[in-house]
């Protein structure tokens, strides 16, 4: 009887630990996706600022209590915008390079890293 109880307890603990691992992985994936969305939202804010005023800009933005940093560098007819979104310990960077053609912006490179 004790052996059966010991085996049952061991199996129960193993299943519980596996469930906790899966929950942690799911949470990590969710937070990483949220940080990507945050960095993309901040990238869009940087692009909007460029549309209004074609000049370099550095600043931060808070969206739903989460912080992102925006760095825009303008060099004549080209510009680059980098946004770093941070949620808890998860950080995502988004980067875009654009050309200014008349009053329109033409994207030449967009990446996450």
pLDDT confidence of residue 96: 93
- For CA atoms 7, 12, 13, 14, the dihedral sign is positive
CB 46 within 8 A of CB 79: no
Q: Alpha-carbon distance 4 to 10, whole Å? A: 10
Task: Please name the residue that has the structure tokens 């995502």.
Answer: 92
Q: pLDDT tens digits, the chain, 113 residues: what are they?
A: 778 777 777 777 777 767 778 877 888 889 989 999 999 999 999 999 998 999 999 999 999 889 999 999 999 889 999 999 999 899 999 999 998 877 778 888 888 77
86: closest CA among 50, 60, 48, 110? 60
Strand order in the sheet with 104-112: 57-63, 66-75, 78-87, 90-101, 104-112
Chain centroid to Cα 1, Å, comes to 53
Parse the chain into domains and list their residue ranges: 2-112
Q: Alpha-carbon distance 49 to 67, whole Å? A: 18
Residue 107 token pair:
């994207």
CB 108 within 8 A of CB 50: no
pLDDT confidence of residue 77: 86
CATH class, range 2-112: alpha beta
Task: Tell me the pTM.
Answer: 0.76
pLDDT confidence of residue 27: 85
pLDDT confidence of residue 4: 74
């Amino acid at each position: 009887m004790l052996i059966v109880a010991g085996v049952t307890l061991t199996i129960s603990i193993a299943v519980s630990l596996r469930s906790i691992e899966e929950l942690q992985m799911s949470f990590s994936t969710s937070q990483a996706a949220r940080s990507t969305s945050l960095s993309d939202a901040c990238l869009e804010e940087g692009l909007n600022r460029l549309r209004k005023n074609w000049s370099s800009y550095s600043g931060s933005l808070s969206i739903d209590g989460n912080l992102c940093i925006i760095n825009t560098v303008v060099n004549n007819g080209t510009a680059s915008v980098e946004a770093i979104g941070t949620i808890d310990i998860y950080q995502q960077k988004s980067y875009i390079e654009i050309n200014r053609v008349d009053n329109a912006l033409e994207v030449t490179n967009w990446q996450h890293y």
